[in-house]
Amino acid sequence: MGLADPRGSGLCLSRMAHRSATPPTREGRTMTTALHDARLRAVCAAVQDTGARTLLDLGCGAGDLLLRLARVPQFTRLTGIDIDLASLRQAQARLADLPAEARAKVQLAQASMTAAHAKLRGYDCACLVETIEHLPLADLNRLERALFADMRPGHVIVTTPNAEFNPVLGVPAHRFRHPGHHFEWDRTRFQGWAEGVAARHGYSIRRHDIGETHPALGGASQMAVFARLG
């Protein structure tokens, strides 16, 4: 079964078809970086700690997170959405090499993470891995309403670059780490955003450093774990 475009006709989720695997290109690279691996390990651990059995990967890209979690017996349903059809087809190809039992857990759809979809309600956990910084700042309010007000998963896990760490990576002050980024936040700004979202929608929040950590500048990336209250 192929991927379906939900625009105009409601969200349609498609399970995997068998295809040949292709190399990952997350963040424009052909090989997984040490930092990206650290992010994925941190997110996988955080998701498993929540006890989630169903997971929504918003901005799933080429399927890096889904590929790891599909093999974990804890999970019964994994859904990835992305607006970019080429990335979704790459995810479809990579996931096709999983064992049949793992592959059957996964479904993909082309959709915007800033729009609410009734079929995406009721998940135990939602993840946004290095995704929010690819949105224009004006779209963050739309994401907040769609995810925290409408879909309301039990937990939400968000990772994003820590701008304070950029000098350690050799990123000039006038540039972002990636040309597709619309913003990069320091730890205080990210904490403030996360606390505001949590307070408005009935979640608690904990922030963590990810990857290499500098004593003054924090981690290369940062993660917020939201837990729905009540």
What is the chain's length?
230
Give the SS3 label for residue 80. strand
Tokens found for residue 162 = 């820590």
Give 100's contacts (C-beta < 8 A, 6+ positions apart): none
Contact 33, 122 (CB under 8 A): no
As a whole number of angstroms, the distance between CA 192 and CA 198 comes to 10
pLDDT tens, per residue, the chain with 230 residues: 234 433 333 455 665 433 333 333 333 343 348 888 999 999 999 999 999 999 999 999 999 999 999 999 999 999 999 999 999 999 999 999 999 999 999 999 999 999 999 999 999 999 999 999 999 999 999 999 999 999 999 999 999 999 999 999 999 988 999 999 999 999 999 999 999 999 999 999 999 999 889 999 999 999 999 999 97
Strands 54-58 and 77-82, sheet pairing: parallel
Which two three-digit tokens encode residue 175?
């540039």
Q: Is the dihedral of CA 5, 117, 107, 55 positive or negative?
A: positive
- Dihedral of the alpha carbons of 14, 17, 19, 25, in degrees to the nearest 10: 20
Q: What is the pTM of this model?
A: 0.87
